[in-house]
Amino acid sequence: MKYLSFILFCSSWSGAVFSAPPNGEQVYQQYCAGCHGPQLQGGLGANLIDDVWLHEDSEQAIIETIRNGVIDKGMPAFKTGLTQEQIKQVAQFIKVSKSANTTPEVFLDKNQIFTTKHYQFNLKLINVFDSLIWAITFINANEYLATERDTGNLYYGNIDGSYRIITGTPKVWNNDQGGLLDVALDINFANNQIIYLAYAKENINSTWQQAQGMTAIFKARIEGNKLVDQQDIFSVDDTFALPSGRHFGSRLVADNNYLYFSIGERGIRPDAQDLTKPNGKIHRIHLDGSIPSDNPFVNQASAYKSIWTYGNRNPQGLARHPNTGELWSTEHGPKGGDEINLISKGLNYGWPVITYGMNYDGTSMTNKTHMPGMEQPIRYYVPSIATSGIDFYNGDKWSKWQNNMFVTGMSAQELRRVKIVNKQVVEEELLVKNFGRVRDVAVSPSGDIYIMITRDHKGHMYKLEKLNKSGNNQQEIP
């Protein structure tokens, strides 16, 4: 089924290519694919073949978008770089590709079977949320919390498909990639019902011409359908707020004493190396927001005291290894520069001085991939998969995957299984492909695996359901 669907996908897509003006595709591959993906699937730029148009979809409107760009969102203007004829051809190429794209129905057949080295499974749809879900975290075998980025809604859901909204959440700054981000449980949640949220927070300063903000961390207790005892345990002063809508991070990992969280460099690359700035870092604070006295830069004058590591571009995955206790991250890199990193106190992960990535237009950013005093990723992805949430497997149900890391890919529409032994990737396998943008993965306390996929701007939650070879039941492939 998987392969059949894949072929259908390819043929429908190449059909689009044949019936579109050939020059349109050449222009597209040369000038646009770096951001919008070689198959128009999106990346830094919008997906151009899904059902969603951010701007008007008439051919004339598309031509205008290409001519004038959407400068503040990162879409360049092409009116001087391309001729009127080329712009028209590439606009037609996009229109034809979009209309010929038969997704989602064809390869979202709910009986689709994925065959992997150890197991066969299919994806059971648990729920569809109205817009993009950024994170899911399980409370017990059946119940979970989910964050909806743009609305700022926090959902308390059950795998039977029901869910309710928890009120009392922070007001989020819904600016581009900003909004409600990660959710984590206190390790004593069963007794104290305390949760932590990461979100984009707007700083309010009447002298500013435009909105500015930064990632903030919020702590509260769930009581019935609302949050109580709310407080920001991390937020920045106006001096550090930035107008950019990009690279907020932010994943959370809580243990019995510390809370770790990531903040992306917010699109200001050099800030990642600047220890006086909070962006481009992974931070460590106590659970009440205070600064641990053994943080690596506490004694360095003018350093931002919560910094745990620096030189991080946009870490959107953070998880603790169930056995070793090591902290691992995935970093959403530039084109060709996504990384898996082992996060250790005080280290410099190199961005933007060293990277395997390049600018989205294909030009090189730096030719340095190594430097003394800067960490190498354990794994990097060329081309990029647009890494997001990660989790480690810990449970009985998928025992051959014990302690393996699950890595999500948004533009590549992937879920990967990565086996790491002694800080080395020793095995890696693609588990899910072409089902939509995989933004988060969560292993529940019962050892079940769930993924959150964005498709058509909606949050689709799936459970991996194990099959035996004849199509049912739960058996391992010997």
**Interface residues toward ligand HEC, by CB under 6 A:** 31-32, 34-36, 44-46, 53-55, 62, 65-66, 70, 73-76, 78, 90, 94, 360-361
Mind giving me the DSSP string for 413-474? TEEEEEEEETTEEEEEEEEEESSSEEEEEEE-TTS-EEEEEEETTEEEEEEEEEE-TTS-S-
Question: Would you say 13 or 78 has its CB closer to ligand HEC?
Answer: 78
Q: Does residue 306 contact residue 249 with C-beta atoms inside 8 Å?
A: no
At its nearest, how many Å lie between ligand HEC and the CB of residue 247? 13
State which residue, 21 or 322, has the beta carbon closest to ligand HEC: 21
Contact, 420 vs 470, CB < 8 A? Answer: no
User: Which helix H or strand E contains 182, and what residues bound it?
Assistant: strand 180-185
- Closest residue by beta carbon to ligand HEC: 32
User: What is the phi/psi pair of residue 63, to 5°?
Assistant: -60, -40
Cα dihedral sign for 437, 246, 196, 304? positive
Token pair 């059909």 is found at: 15
Per the CB < 8 A criterion, the answer to whether 153 and 478 are in contact is no
**Catalytic residue selected from 36, 55, 118, 247:** 247
CB of 42 vs ligand HEC, minimal distance in Å? 9
- 37: helix, strand or coil: coil
List beta partners, residue 148: 133
The least distance separating ligand HEC from the CB of residue 102, rounded to whole angstroms, comes to: 19
Exposure class string for 217-227: b at 16+ Cβ within 10 A, else e:
bbbbbbeeeeb
Residue with Cβ nearer ligand HEC (24 or 152): 24
Phi then psi for residue 215, to 5 deg, are: -65, 140
Q: CA-to-CA distance for 404 and 354, rounded, in angstroms?
A: 28
CA dihedral 78, 82, 87, 89 (to 10 degrees): -150
Peptide bond into 250 cis (omega under 30): yes
Interacting residues of 56 by C-beta distance below 8 A, sequence separation 6+: 62
Residue 460 annotated to the active site? no
Q: Alpha-carbon distance 120 to 466, whole Å?
A: 6
- Nearer CB in complex with ligand HEC: 94/184: 94
C-alpha dihedral (319, 320, 323, 324), degrees to nearest 10: 120
What is the number of other CB atoms lying within 10 angstroms of the CB of residue 228? 11
- Give min distance, CB of 180 to ligand HEC, in A: 19
Catalytically active residues are 247
